[in-house]
Every structure is written in structure tokens, then in C-alpha cells.
Amino acid sequence: MQPLLTREMALLQQICFFNRGAVSRVHDFIRDKYLSGLAGTYRDNLSHKDHELGFNLFELISDYYYRETFHSDILYALLNPNGKHQQKHLFCYLFLEFLKLHGARINLADYTEPEVTREIGRIDLLIVDQKSKKAIFVENKINNAADRRRQIPGYLDYVRSNGYYCDAIVYLRLIGCAGPATTDWTPQEAHEIKNLLKVICAYDSSHNDLLHGWLLKCAEQSTDLNVKYSICQYAEIIRKLGRNIMNKPVMEAFHQIMCQGDNFQTALALKAMVDDLASYRAHRIVDHFKNDLRPFGRIDIYSNRDAYFTECPWKDAHLGIDVWAEPDFYLFQFWDRNDRPQKNGRAAAMLEKMGRLDEFVFEKDFFRMKKNFIYPTEETLLFDYISAFKQDLWHIVKPS
């Protein structure tokens, strides 16, 4: 039987080996370039999500712009040459040119007198020319409505049965490039529709999406200021809707990564480490300054992420510093513990004596003077600031 000490040493060695392996896996995980790229895209998308539109009439009627018919009505109002925009064929021609950029085989000479209809044969938008008998139809899926059974083949049959040759089928999505469901199509229908189908993305921040490739060009070329501003406001709605769901494909790619090997367990370990990081950072402050407290008499941890300096008397005040470690920043606070409402203003008076009052703002909710430092880029700056701040404070409160 192994001596107890030997068994304990063997166990410690196994734990050390496991920890080194876990750290190594996490290290490799976060340095993966593809994963870092996904995280960067996800972060950028979050920064644009739910951005403020200001005074936007379309957002004021937000109960409607989430409906599929709302977008079809707006698109029809723009595409219709006889619409109230008074721009005649301009917007419709810009749309045809936009489709040509997406590879649609359209001859603009076949649409000298385009007519645009709404919900004829249940088709969202139908563009036809009576002279050339050419047609284009648009299926609007901006709000991700599900396909009805044999929807696209049914529309194509309708167009052809009315004597038109279909030049293009536009399948309009908010983001992404997924086409319609084809499980109930015949092989011949799938072949024919494939040659006509153009899946158009309303917003993906590229120059070829509906927003940049058509809407903003319509606004730019409109001669009517009211029409121009209306298009721009609608364009902002499209931008907002697109940005709010742009992370869906990113999450799908991330899901695929999580399903590989030990990646999910590694990600959970990484999340746990990130969750504990704020507490660790607060304790680092305590460890760094515990032997250099002057002019304070004590440093400790509150609520597991607040490194606080206390026991600094000055006149009738009890001055203190709290440094809260938040997930992405540090909150440096200076206050008088004997004056919780800070009505006497002694903390502010001290900052003025130190020549630092302009560096702080008053935090009304906690009655403290505060200053932020970004993590991790300003962490070193924070430590230097604490040292300099304590030194300046000591020069004022030290016994004469």
C-alpha cells in the first residue's frame, strides 16, 4: 500500500497535469482565427443592434413595420410608375438595373411601359409590360414568412397562363441567401425556376443588398425632397431590422464549432473563467496595494469585486476609495463614508484641493465621485492612477 504522502503527491501531480491541459485547450480555443473572426463579427453586430433612429415615422408605427404586407405596400408604392412619388418610371428602372447586377437576364427595352400590381394572383409584386409580354414577380419574405405549398411554381404558372414570359423571379429576404422550399416541386419546375430565381438580401451591409443597391439610389436620384426623406426613413427601418438578426448566421457557425470534439466543454470553462475574472481583477488590486496603503489604514474586498480602501480621516470626513471591477471596465469611486448623501461635499472639496475635481463626475445614485477605466486597455493606467491618487491625498492629509 502506498504511503499517504506519496498518494497525495501523485494526486497533486495529476491535478497539475489536468490544469495545464485545460489551460492549453482554452488557450488554443481563444487563439483560433476562425472563432476569433466569428466573435468579432458578433461583437460588431451587437454594437449596431437596436440603434436609435431618431424621429422616424415608420418606427412610430412599429406595430405595422413588422408585418409582411407593410414592406410589400412600401415597395409597391415605389415601384409603381403611377405612384404618388411623381418620379414616373425612375424607381422601377433602377430596380430592373439592380436585378441585372444580380444576374437577371432582363432587357430594359422590354419594359418601356412597366405596370406594377399588388396581390394579383396572390403575387406580392408583379411587374409586366403589355407590349413585350415580359414579366417579373417578387415574393417578399422580409419578415421571414413561411412558403405556402408550391407557392413559387404556382405563381409562375399564373404568370404564364396570362400570356407573359417570366424574365425573373425575385425572392426577397431580410438577410441571408436561402431560397424557397422546393420539396413539393417537380424536377422540371426546380430546373426552370433555378434559372429564373434571384434571391435578394434586403440588408447585409454590402453594396449589392436592396438597401444600398436600390433604395438609397432611389433616394439619391429622387427630385422630390419629401419622397427622398421618406425613402431614407424606410431605409433606416430595413437597416435596423437587418442588424437585429445579423448574428443568426454567426450563431449557426458557432453552433457547428461547439458540436466538434471538446469545444463546448472548453467554451463552458472559458465562460466560467470570464465570469470569475472581475473578482480576480479586484483581488489583484488588493494584492498589489496591501503593503502600500498610505494614507489609508485598510484595504479589503466587498461583494467579491470591489477593492476598497478605507480608514483615511480628514477633518470630520472618513475618505475612501472603491474600485469596482465590472466585466469591461473599472469604476474608480472616491467618497466620504461619514457623509453618505455627500451633502457636506467634503469628497469634492478634497478633489479640488488635489487638482483632480475635473477628472470626476458625481454619481447621484451612490453619492460618490466616479471615474472609469476601460478593461483591459487601461488597466495599467488604473494602477498608476491609484498610486498617484494616494500620493496626492497623502500630501494633504498627512500630520503636520
Q: pLDDT per residue over 137-169, tens digit each?
A: 999 998 878 888 899 999 999 999 999 999 999
User: Which pLDDT does position 54 carry in this prediction?
Assistant: 58
Enter the C-alpha cell of residue 129: 409590360
Cis preceding-peptide flag for 295 (omega within 30 of 0): yes
| Predicted confidence (pLDDT) per residue in 82-103, tens digit | 988 999 999 999 999 999 999 9
The band of 175, judged by pLDDT with boundaries at 50, 70 and 90, is confident
In the chain, % of residues over pLDDT 70: 80
Do both 237 and 256 map to the same domain? Answer: no
- 304 plus 391 within the same structural domain: yes
pLDDT confidence of residue 1: 44
| Parallel, antiparallel or unpaired: strands 165-173 and 197-201 | parallel
Query: Is the domain of 325 the same as that of 263?
Result: no
Q: Percent of the chain beyond pLDDT 90?
A: 50
pLDDT at 274 over 90: no
- Residue 246 C-alpha cell reads as 445579423
Asked if pLDDT for residue 112 goes beyond 70, the answer is: yes
Residue 51: is its pLDDT beyond 70? no
What is the average pLDDT across 305-320? 93
Shared domain for 232 and 283, answered yes or no, is no
Q: Pick the closest to residue 263 from 25, 27, 37 (CA basis).
A: 25
Q: Are 132 and 194 within one domain? A: yes
As a whole number of angstroms, the distance between CA 350 and CA 319 comes to: 9
Average pLDDT, the chain: 84
- Mean pLDDT score, 45-61: 56
153 preceded by a cis bond (ω within 30 of 0): no
Compute the distance between CA of residue 274 and CA of residue 268 in angstroms, rounded to an integer.
10
Contacts of 217 (CB under 8 A, 6+ apart): 94, 98
Which is nearest to 71 in space by CA: 212, 241, 218?
Answer: 241
Nearest Cα residue to 219 out of 203, 231, 209: 231
Residues 79, 11 within the same domain: no
> In terms of domains, do 283 and 216 share one?
no
Q: Please list, residue by residue across 137-157, b when 16 or more beta carbons sit within 10 angstroms of its beta carbon and e when fewer do.
A: bbbbbbbeeebeebbbbebbe
Going by C-alpha positions, the residue among 66, 62, 65, 87 that lies closest to residue 77 is 87
> 367 falls in which pLDDT band (50, 70, 90)?
low
What average pLDDT score do residues 222-239 get? 88
325, 278 contact by CB (below 8 A):
yes
pLDDT at 287: 96
101 and 236 in one domain? yes
Per-residue pLDDT at 68 = 60
Q: What total of structural domains would you count in the chain?
A: 3
123-129, strands of its sheet edge to edge = 114-120, 123-129, 134-141, 165-173, 197-201
Residue 2 pLDDT: 47
Residues 301 and 262 in one domain: no
Confidence of residue 377 (pLDDT cuts 50, 70, 90): very high
226, 344: one domain? no
Task: Say yes or no: 32 and 45 in one domain.
Answer: yes
Task: Report, as an integer, the average pLDDT of 295-321.
Answer: 94
Give the integer Cα–Cα distance in Å for 204 and 85: 27
pLDDT beyond 60 at 369 = yes
**Statement to judge: residues 70 and 82 lie in one domain:** yes
In which domain, by residue range, is 207 found? Answer: 57-245
